[in-house]
Amino acid sequence: MTRLACLTLLLASAALAPAFAADWKMDPAASRLDFAATFEGTPAPGVFKNFEVRLDFDPERPADGRLEVRIGVASADMANADINKAIAGPEWFDFARHPQAEFRTTEIRRVQGNSYLARGTLSLKGVHQAVEVPFSWSGAADGASMQGEFIVKRLPFGIGTGEWAATNVIGLDVTIKFRIRLRKAS
């Protein structure tokens, strides 16, 4: 009788224990990471072609979640060969010394419905800054998607220094937009 009671208690405890967040991996072909600066008030869009997203996330338990984004900074493309050459240099992204940027969460929380907020640290060009990334989540049995938009101030990261530091030519704010398609990791 004691063994049966212990077994029943063990099974009941397992059923009530918090589940681990689902493990998600990005589908690169169906995902985008765009950025837009402004040049004399006109949008100057670009895209990062090489990035990776890893997400441990259960929309019902967002506080247990973890998000990590790695960006191959040298994959930045602003659709203009001269601009692409310039942004590779030390006044901009400095591809040679800082080939990768990274975002890691410290917290994910639900804001309302399918809207969430990821707080974490963005590491770019050797600088680490706290940022907040709002996103929406849409899940299904075969996969999920997350999308959002946020603003980063470029100068604290040393992006656009020297003659480019004046914000009347290149705006201070850079808008980051993302649309990520995810599948459950095996």
Domain assignment present for 38: yes
Top-confidence residue, 20 or 49: 49
Res. 88: pLDDT tops 50: yes
Domain assignment present for 32: yes
Domain assignment present for 13: no
What's the confidence (pLDDT) of residue 79?
Answer: 97
What's the confidence (pLDDT) of residue 34?
Answer: 99
Q: Is 161 left (phi over 0), alpha (psi -120 to 50) or beta?
A: beta
Res. 9: pLDDT tops 50: no
77 CB-contact burial (10 Å; exposed 0-12 / middle 13-18 / buried 19+): middle
Phi, psi of 65 (to 5 degrees): -80, 165
Q: pLDDT by residue (tens digit) across 94-153?
A: 999 999 999 999 999 999 999 999 999 999 999 999 999 999 999 877 799 999 999 999
Domain assignment present for 144: yes
Are 12 and 161 contacting, i.e. CB atoms less than 8 angstroms apart?
A: no
Domain assignment present for 14: no
Q: Is 80 left (phi over 0), alpha (psi -120 to 50) or beta?
A: beta
Domain assignment present for 8: no
Res. 18: pLDDT tops 50: no
Domain assignment present for 63: yes
CATH at 50: 2.40.128.110
- Give the C-alpha separation, 18 to 139, whole Å: 20
Domain assignment present for 2: no
Res. 22: pLDDT tops 80: no
What's the confidence (pLDDT) of residue 106?
Answer: 97
Top-confidence residue, 66 or 11: 66
Domain count, the chain: 1
Beta bridge partners of 71: 51, 101
Residue type at 180 in one-letter notation: I
- As a whole-number percent, the residues of the chain with pLDDT over 90 amount to 84
What's the confidence (pLDDT) of residue 186?
Answer: 74
Question: Domain of 153?
Answer: 23-184
Angle at 176 between CA 101 and CA 100, to 5 degrees: 10
